[in-house]
Amino acid sequence: MTKKQRIRKETAISMLKNDHQKVKGLFEKFENTSSSKAKQKIVSDALMELKIHASIEEEFFYPALRQEMDDEEGLMDEADEEHHVAKVLIAELEAMRGNEYHWEAKFKVLAENVRHHIKEEEGEIFPEAKKTAIDFVALGTSMADMKARLIREGVPRDAEAKMVGKRGLRGDSPAKKAQQKLQVPTKAA
Ligand SMILES: [Fe+2]
């Protein structure tokens, strides 16, 4: 077997785990970087990684799991919602340049959401998935093909990107109420 063939034999689960390591590394790098130029590059790399990762999961991995896995707890529904929240933040970050108010906060919250999601996938979903009869080598091959295509051609706009585009959300935050000036009641000294 040549090296190239061995790479193509990567299972769906090991492929997703490698992606997880990669994005977690980018989150750490962001936290340890102070240059805003470097931060912008890290965010743009992380957004691309996450979009590709979510697309291949939603196209192959999640549908296969939904059909074959025993999911009494509703893990897959929760995973869908975590993808949704992440994709809204990704769409907002993509519409920003990186010097706006809330840009950094938005990316940090995205990182927290994704770290939590990774923990649930690796800790709860993957162990259940491994109990099924799914051929993760064959599934991994389809996922690797799709990944290569998305890297080549780009990731199509998803429903969240269209939603954010339509609402014309500004870069800061829709939670404007929390930023109003308030007559703050304080305790007597
Ligand atoms: Fe996921």
Residue 100 lies in a domain: yes
User: What tens-digit pLDDT sequence spans the chain (189 residues)?
Assistant: 555 555 556 899 999 999 999 999 999 999 999 999 999 999 999 999 999 999 999 999 999 999 999 999 999 999 999 999 999 999 999 999 998 888 999 999 999 999 999 999 999 999 999 999 999 999 999 999 999 999 999 999 999 999 888 877 655 566 777 888 889 999 987
Nearest to 79 by CA among 153, 14, 16, 168: 16
Which pLDDT belongs to residue 176?
77
Q: What spacing in Å lies between the alpha carbon of 177 and ligand 1's midpoint?
A: 32
Nearest to 52 by CA among 136, 126, 158, 141: 158
Which pLDDT belongs to residue 173?
67
Full domain range(s) for residue 128: 9-170
Question: From CA 79, how far away is CA 54, in angstroms rounded?
Answer: 10
Which pLDDT belongs to residue 168?
72
Q: What spacing in Å lies between the alpha carbon of 54 and ligand 1's midpoint?
A: 6
Q: What spacing in Å lies between the alpha carbon of 102 and ligand 1's midpoint?
A: 25
pTM of the model: 0.89
Q: What spacing in Å lies between the alpha carbon of 5 and ligand 1's midpoint?
A: 26
Q: What spacing in Å lies between the alpha carbon of 118 and ligand 1's midpoint?
A: 7
Residue 110 lies in a domain: yes
Which pLDDT belongs to residue 171?
56
Which pLDDT belongs to residue 12?
96
Q: What spacing in Å lies between the alpha carbon of 169 and ligand 1's midpoint?
A: 25
Residue 41 lies in a domain: yes
Residue 157 lies in a domain: yes
Nearest to 77 by CA among 139, 125, 136, 122: 125
Residue 187 lies in a domain: no
Residue 82 lies in a domain: yes
Which pLDDT belongs to residue 174?
66
Q: What spacing in Å lies between the alpha carbon of 14 and ligand 1's midpoint?
A: 13
Instruction: Please tell me the total count of domains within the chain.
Output: 1
Q: What spacing in Å lies between the alpha carbon of 16 and ligand 1's midpoint?
A: 9
Residue 178 lies in a domain: no
Q: What spacing in Å lies between the alpha carbon of 180 and ligand 1's midpoint?
A: 36
Which pLDDT belongs to residue 84?
97
Residue 181 lies in a domain: no
Asked if residues 15 and 34 have their Cβ atoms less than 8 Å apart, the reply is: no
Q: What spacing in Å lies between the alpha carbon of 173 and ligand 1's midpoint?
A: 25
Q: What spacing in Å lies between the alpha carbon of 103 and ligand 1's midpoint?
A: 23
